[in-house]
Amino acid sequence: MNGGSAPRNPGPAASPRGAPGRTLAVTGAGGFIAAAVQRLVGPGMRLRGLFRRDDERAGLWRARGHEVVIGSLSDEAALERLVAGADAVLHLAARRGKDDLTASRSVNVEASVLLARTAAAAGVGRLVYVSTISVYAETVAPDGLITEEVTPTGIERLNAYSRTKYEGECALRELSEAGEAPGLTVVRPTNVYGPGGRAWVLDWVARLRRLPVVPGGNAEIDVIHVDDVARGLLLAASAPSATGETLHFGHETVRLADFARGVAQAAGLRAYALPEPLDLLVRAALEYGHRLVRGSRRSTPLLGRRRFSHERARSVLAFTPQISLERGLRHLAEWFGGGCPDPRTTVLRAAS
């Protein structure tokens, strides 16, 4: 683990498109981030994806020359097929429901442990576990800046998703440090957006179609484009310096209202922010109402200021996001304007 120590010497630079001749096993291969990974992976690097069913998404992977394994995270035989001969595992699959702690723990902790043990038995050298920045939803830093050295607090008050993602981190670290799992890299992305994204694109569009107002719009959020996340994950899967590290992947801090209005404009909609102090009252009502009704924290807190340091990813991986929010929103507008084509087929070039 980091433990506040100085970053390791990064050694030879890893390729942001993955290393030729290597095999990367991917869980959650039918998902949003995996779609960006398979678009951006370089020639010569083989992908093998775990899909729950043999559907159109699995067929598209095959069409692009990647391998497909059908099964679930609880299917040990499928996991064995997934990791056989792989150099690294990119663990993207997760249960994102926020209310059922037992169901979330079964996937995000227990199945992750099974995957790690199976990968270790197969001789896999690296496991990249994609967690979430919302493990910090209950954490308050004195100056508002949260680095990777800050240990999340109040875990028992997090929702089921955030809580079990952190429990998964801890379980995998323990296994890896005991030599019972591959070398571990934990990545905590902030708020990931891009074509096809549900939480930060499609869900916002659906809300704003119903009511074109951004509640809590003066809260600040950190956002990063999905293609940048994919490039960073490919680096993490191949860079020797990433072993044992926990890394934040984020890019720009913006007001929630500005981001949501940008998404709305990209989709041909209009959205309005509430003036202060009305917005503050709404934020407080949403925050405390959620705790009262759900008994847990929101994944994205609306009160208080949190900024996330991205410096460690830069120093360990030489990873710097390239796609500005302005450029990402323009691309999102092109995607909506083109009828929302399958995002697995469209690559966004980095902004200059």
- Kind and range of the H or E run holding 105: helix 101-105
Position 16 confidence tier, pLDDT thresholds 50, 70, 90: low
Q: From the CA atom positions of the chain, what is the Rg in Å?
A: 20
3-state secondary structure of 16: coil
Predicted model pTM: 0.91
Report CA torsion sign: 297, 303, 309, 310. positive
Confidence of residue 225 (pLDDT cuts 50, 70, 90): very high
DSSP 46-67: EEEEEESS-SHHHHHHHHTT-E
Long-range contacts of 61-67, Cβ-Cβ distance < 8 Å, separation of 24 or more: 61/29, 64/38, 66/38
Query: What was the pLDDT predicted at 5?
Result: 37
Phi (first) and psi of residue 327, to 5 degrees: -70, -40
Q: Say whether pLDDT at 1 is over 60.
A: no
Domain with residues 23-195+223-253+305-322, CATH architecture: 3-Layer(aba) Sandwich (3.40)
Q: Distance between CA 312 and CA 99 in Å, rounded?
A: 32
Q: Is the dihedral of CA 7, 11, 15, 18 positive or negative?
A: negative
Which residues is 191 bridged to in the sheet?
Answer: 223
Amino acid 164 reads: T
**Is residue 253 very low, low, confident or very high in pLDDT (cuts 50, 70, 90)?**
very high
Residue 92 DSSP class: -
The domain ranges of the chain are: 23-195+223-253+305-322
Burial of 4 by CB count in 10 Å (0-12 exposed, 13-18 middle, 19+ buried)?
exposed
Nearest-10 crossing angle of helices 76-83, 112-121: 50
Q: Give the pair of three-digit tokens for residue 264.
A: 């709305």
Distance between CA atoms of residues 132 and 154, nearest Å: 15
Q: What percent of the chain is modeled with pLDDT above 70? A: 91
pLDDT of 310 above 70? yes
Alpha-carbon distances, residue 83 vs 50, 77, 79, 86 (angstroms): 10, 10, 6, 5
Structure tokens that stand for 246 in this block: 């926990």
